[in-house]
Amino acid sequence: MNIKWKFFVLLCILLLSAGCVPSKSVEENAIVQISGYDRGGDGGRIKGTVSIPQYGKSEKKTAASELYLTVDANSIKDVEKEIQKQSSKPISIGKLAVTLYSMELAEEGISDVIDVLSRDARLSRNMYLGVVDGQTQDLIENGYTQDETTSKHLQGLIENNIHHNFPSTSLHEFLYAYYAIGMDPYLPILAQKESFVEISGIGFFKKGKLVTTLSDAKVFTFKMMKENFTRGMQDLPFQEGTIMLDNIGSTVDYKLTGTNENPGLEINVKLKSEVNEMVGVEEKPSPQLAEEMEDAFVDYFKTNADEMIELFKKEGIDPLGLGHFAKTRTRHFDEKRWEDLYPDMDIQFDVDVEITEYGIFS
Partner 1 sequence: MNKLNEIEGLNISENYLVSPFYVFFIICTMQVGIGILGFERYLVETAGFDAWISVLVAGGFLQVLVWVMYRLLQNGGGDIVHIHKQVFGKYIGGFLSLLFAIYALLLAFDVMITFIEVIKVWMFPGLQVWIFAFVMIGLVYYIVSGGFRVLTGIALISIVIGLPILLLKFFPIQAGHTMNIYPNIEHSPMQIMAAAKQSALSFLGLEFLLIFYPFIKDPHKSKKWAHFAVFYTTMLYFISVLVTFVYFSEEQLKQVVWGTISTWKIVEFPFIERFEYVGIAMWLYVILPNVCIGIWGATRVMKRVFPVKQIHFLRFTCISLFFPVALVAGRDPINAINNFIGTVGFYVLLYIPVLLLLKTITDKVRKRHEH
Partner 2 sequence: MWKWMRKNKKKQGDQKPSYNESDTLPEFIEVLGKSEDFIQFELDGTTRCTVSYLKTMSDSKILNRSVLTTLNSHDLHSLKEIKETIPVENVLITDDLKVIQTKVMFGYIMIQVKSSVDKVLLVPAVSLESRDVGIPEVEFSVVGPKEAFVETINTNINLIRKRLPLPQLTVKELQVGKMTSTRTAVIYIDGVADKDNVDTVTQRLQDIEYDQLVDSSFITQMIADNSNSPFPQLLDTERPDRVVSNLAEGKIAILVDGSPHALTCPTTVVEFFGASDDYYLTWHLASVFRLIRLFAVIFSVLSTPLYVAVLTYHFEMIPPELMATIVSSRSDIPFPPILEVIILELTIELLREAGARLPTKIGQTIGIVGGIVIGTAAVDAGLTSNVLLIIVALSALASFTTPVYQIGNTIRLIRFPFLMGAQLWGLVGVSMCMVFYIGHLIKLQSIGRPFFEPLYPLRFKDLKDAFIRLPFPKQVERPVLMRSEDPIRMNKDRVKAKRDIDE
Q: Which is nearer to partner 2, 94 or 343 (CB)?
A: 94
Binding partner selected for residue 2 from partner 1, partner 2, none, CB under the kind-specific 5 to 8 Å limit = partner 2
Q: Among 52, 130, 64, 143, which Cα is nearest to 93's?
A: 52
Among 183, 271, 281, 320, the residue binding partner 1 under the rule CB under 8 A is 183
Q: Which is nearer to partner 2, 97 or 281 (CB)?
A: 97
**Contact positions toward partner 2, by CB under 8 A?**
2, 4, 16, 19-21, 23, 25-27, 29, 31, 33, 53, 55-58, 60-61, 92, 94-95, 97, 122, 124, 152, 155
Q: Which is nearer to partner 1, 27 or 194 (CB)?
A: 27
Q: Which is nearer to partner 2, 20 or 360 (CB)?
A: 20
By residue count, the chain amounts to 362
Across-strand partners of 100?
Answer: 36, 130
Tell me if 221 sits within 8 A of 305, measured CB to CB.
yes
Residue 176 corresponds to which amino acid?
Y
Binding partner selected for residue 175 from partner 1, partner 2, none, CB under the kind-specific 5 to 8 Å limit = partner 1
175 part of the interface to partner 1, by CB under 8 A: yes
Binding partner selected for residue 126 from partner 2, partner 1, none, CB under the kind-specific 5 to 8 Å limit = partner 1
Closest separation in Å from C-beta 170 to partner 2: 15
Binding partner selected for residue 183 from partner 2, partner 1, none, CB under the kind-specific 5 to 8 Å limit = partner 1
> 228: number of CA atoms within 13 Å, CB side?
6
Strands (E), the chain: 30-31, 34-39, 46-54, 65-73, 91-92, 98-102, 128-133, 186-193, 196-206, 209-215, 233-238, 241-258, 263-279, 346-357
Closest separation in Å from C-beta 331 to partner 1: 6
Closest separation in Å from C-beta 11 to partner 1: 11
DSSP 58-87: GGGTTS-EEEEEEEEESSHHHHHHHHHHH-
The span from the CA of 148 to the CA of 159, in Å, is 15
Part in contact with partner 1 (CB under 8 A); list of ranges 142-150, 196-204, 266-274, 323-331:
323-331
Q: Which is nearer to partner 2, 39 or 95 (CB)?
A: 95
Q: Which is nearer to partner 1, 115 or 310 (CB)?
A: 115
**Starting from the edge strand earliest in sequence, which strands make up the sheet with 98-102, in order?**
65-73, 46-54, 34-39, 98-102, 128-133, 186-193, 196-206, 209-215
Among 60, 179, 352, 359, the residue binding partner 1 under the rule CB under 8 A is 179
191 part of the interface to partner 1, by CB under 8 A: no
3 part of the interface to partner 1, by CB under 8 A: no
The span from the CA of 191 to the CA of 103, in Å, is 10
Closest separation in Å from C-beta 185 to partner 2: 25
Binding partner selected for residue 97 from partner 1, partner 2, none, CB under the kind-specific 5 to 8 Å limit = partner 2
**Angle formed by the axes of helices 111-119 and 171-179, nearest 10°:** 120
Kindly identify the residues of this chain, within the stretch 197-256, that bind partner 1 according to CB under 8 A: none
Tell me if 266 sits within 8 A of 254, measured CB to CB.
yes
Tell me if 251 sits within 8 A of 352, measured CB to CB.
no
116 part of the interface to partner 1, by CB under 8 A: no
Count other Cβ atoms within 10 Å, centred on residue 351.
Answer: 23
Strands (E), 139-195: 186-193
8 part of the interface to partner 1, by CB under 8 A: no
Q: Among 205, 168, 166, 169, which Cα is nearest to 184's?
A: 205
176 part of the interface to partner 1, by CB under 8 A: yes
Report the interface residues with partner 1, using CB under 8 A.
Answer: 15-16, 18-19, 21-22, 118, 121, 124-126, 172-173, 175-181, 183, 324-325, 328-333
